[in-house]
Chain A
Amino acid sequence: MTLTDDELVARSISGDAESFNELITRWERPIYALAYRVIGREEDARDVCQETFLRAFRALPGFKGEAKFSSWLYRIALNLCRDWIRRQRRAPVVQMPEGIDPSELAAERGPVESIEELVGRRQLSAVVEEAMALLPEEQRTAIILKEYHGLTFQEIADMQGCPLSTVKTRLYQGLTVLRRHLEKSGVGLTKVEGVASSKVAGQITPRLVKR
């Protein structure tokens, strides 16, 4: 039987360390991904991830369950990321991926993905990472929380401590900057038509046509 986060939290509060370990197993990857995307450094993201769970474990008795456990973790992680950025007092350094080795790619490619597609995806990922590093912290965080963690506008607004309309503006401005940068890098809309046009052609265009 799979326990919910709330049930595991309740057990953890009563002293069951294994339940907290289960929560860590569930959430350490998303928290690490969030930290990495916000601060852009692998080692520091690991530290932030570890510190997030340490703080959560310590503060667990005070967790009243008013928000989701995951939202609570995200908030802790974001605060730590913010502290890290303040300490650094400079833009996050993006770790560009190392040279692409076809033999490595062959080992990790999926059954339906060609080598060329995989190389293209790696290159695109590097360009996206580079573009994200250019955004102001608030816009970058809003986009990360929305795109990669699926939070609602209201949840992001609560985490960032700003009105809901501000979240939408940050998302719009951030996406617009990213779009321009990606177009400049040669992976704009023309690239999407070939690689990732399923959503555009399959969902939006028909809707435009129907109405």
Chain B
Amino acid sequence: MMSETFTCGDHGALVSYLYDECTPAERRTIAAHLVICGACAEEIVALSATREQLATWTPPDAQLGFTVSAATSKSHVLRPARWWQKSMPGWAQAAAAVFIFGTGLTLGALRGVSQPADSALQRSAARALGSSSAASARNDANAAPVTRADLVALEQRIRSEMSQSHAVSQTVASSPSDERILQRVRTMIDESEQRQRRELALRSAEMVRDFDAQRNVDLTRIERTLGQMDGTTGAEVAQQRQMLNYLMRVSQRGQ
């Protein structure tokens, strides 16, 4: 709590006065001191000026507009999107598509292999594990050994299926007739020309607008400069007169 008397160097009291956050009595006490103390008065004036300058600092505009949605659960509200929720770039989508397609093709090819080969693999695996169960033993007893011929047949089957799928895709790709292709190319060229025309018109309009804005700026600046030149002299005289009045009054109070 501030006392009724104010002493020089009480910065806390000066700050309270500066921000007008003190009682009327405290305010009167400090104001009375400021009348007789030039140093404190000067400090208050300087700090007030600094506050005025601080008011010029404005943060840049930002796109905010955060909202919560009633449909979403609380745990998802306003949370930045997780990586799997974000849209993937094109190359990643293409890579994923190729990977999935390749995997599917391989699985499909393997599924197409005859059951004996598949069971042969199972049997060989069971044999390798050395299973002691009766079922495994029976399977083992009935198992035919995997020969090189089996593997060659499997390889041929996979190759033939892959070549078939490749041929199908080529057939699909080459199905459009030449006329349709030409028509499509013409359409694309037309669209491109239209885009260029629109862009040219837009650029022209922008240039005209920029030129006009610059002209207005120059005219305004010239006008303001002339006005300021007229007003500067009067303002300086008024300021000096105000300062003289202030000094006169302060000196009279001091006496």
Contacts and interface: CB of A to CB of B under 8 A. Distances in A.
Genuine A/B complex: yes
Interface of A: 17-18, 20-21, 24, 28-29, 32-33, 36-37, 42, 45-47, 49-50, 53-54, 57-58, 95, 97, 102-103, 105-107, 114-116, 121, 124-125, 128-129, 132, 143, 146-148, 152-153, 165, 168-169, 171-172, 175-176, 178-179, 182, 187-189, 191-193, 195-197, 199-201, 204-205, 207-209, 211
B56 A18 contact: no
B67 A21 contact: yes
A31 to B, nearest CB: 9
B55 A147 contact: yes
B224 interface: yes
A95 B48 CA distance: 26
The 9 A-B pairs of least Cβ separation, nearest first, read A196-B52, A192-B49, A168-B12, A36-B59, A54-B78, A17-B70, A114-B224, A128-B57, A172-B11
**Which interface residue of B28, B58, B80 has the most chain A CB atoms within 10 A?**
B58
Contacts of A165: 12
B78 A103 contact: no
Interface stretch (B91-99, B105-113, B186-194, B242-250): B242-250
A45 B59 contact: yes
Contact of B60 (A42, A192, A204): A42
A91 to B, nearest CB: 17
B77 A57 contact: yes
A195 B16 CA distance: 25
B181 to A, nearest CB: 47
A158 B178 CA distance: 79
B135 interface: no
Interface stretch (B124-132, B159-167, B210-218): B210-218
